[in-house]
Structure 1
């Protein structure tokens, strides 16, 4: 088994006033040769956008982009004419494919919005751009691991990659495990809230832990009430 630990206070950071962003991997002006990606996981940004502000329309291509609101609401619009509100407990995915332009704005005039912006390299390139979002009842992830992004689960949002995202809300002292979907995968665990131990490694809020080269289920124990995101991705990148 191989592991890599990224403590919360070692992440890249950019504060533009309207946007306060922490980068687990190289992004924008933050460049770290040892943190360019984890397998197919390219970006994990922990963003806070001030009231009424946001990302103006900008283009992407050949990237799977997942947004997970943690607090507040986002207004999504894109070059296909789509206009949607993404709320806490929603998960959004945009397959940029051959190219799409989009904006993500704070839909609230009275409070900030906090969300995770996650990019994954695609499995198939130059597909037709697509968009999907679903709402997931938080009760369904209380003391259990709930799949919210998958290539093979109609209850989750679909992703153009052999990747699976799971969320779990764990009570203090609760123990559970995570079973791998693929022997070629690694899992990047991101602790959104609280404290937890994964395979003996203690994690605090906003710490990240990458695990690969093992077929054994991950052993997870909450050291407090905790919220956890697990991202399983291929560790080898296929040529475009």
Structure 2
């Protein structure tokens, strides 16, 4: 059977013989803390500098005196909401969260902790992975909202400090021709990316066989495959929702 076929069978196993809701609730809260709170710093740092760089580079390229300065803020806003915040943030999270999920499950597999759960009659894939998937789909959108805000704020600070745009022009550009669906589009993309990152990483780690070297290879494959899935899904969702 192909690897893609085994992946879909793996997804089906997450929803069989589930535990009681109270068991999952505690696990989901723990994963939300690990995935969400543990990723705030790196997301905030990357988003702030992306917004700052986007603003300064846009100002550099729009050197025509007939182009109003508030266009700089409009470009920062739209590029942040539609692409930079959801896609770049999820790629960063694929490196941090995805590798962590794959490494954790891979370690549990080679130390036979997963086998012990199966012996006790517990569906190990549902018990271990479903909370990570749900927590990812809850926390990734919140992190992307934070990233979008900080990216736009970073562009404002960098633009004003560099003297390429005034505060009034920046705010005017943010308000100009605003389309609210852009935020919904970003959150839809992010939820899909969260599902792909968590399930692909879990699949890589859960099916590890061997030792520590194989766990490291699984973590690398998890990040690589998650990034490929993100960019492919990004293109598909953009075609479906924006055209």
TM-score normalised by L of structure 2: 0.22
Q: Which has the higher strand share?
A: 1
Name the larger-Rg structure.
2
TM-score normalised by L of structure 1: 0.22
Q: Which has the higher helix share?
A: 2
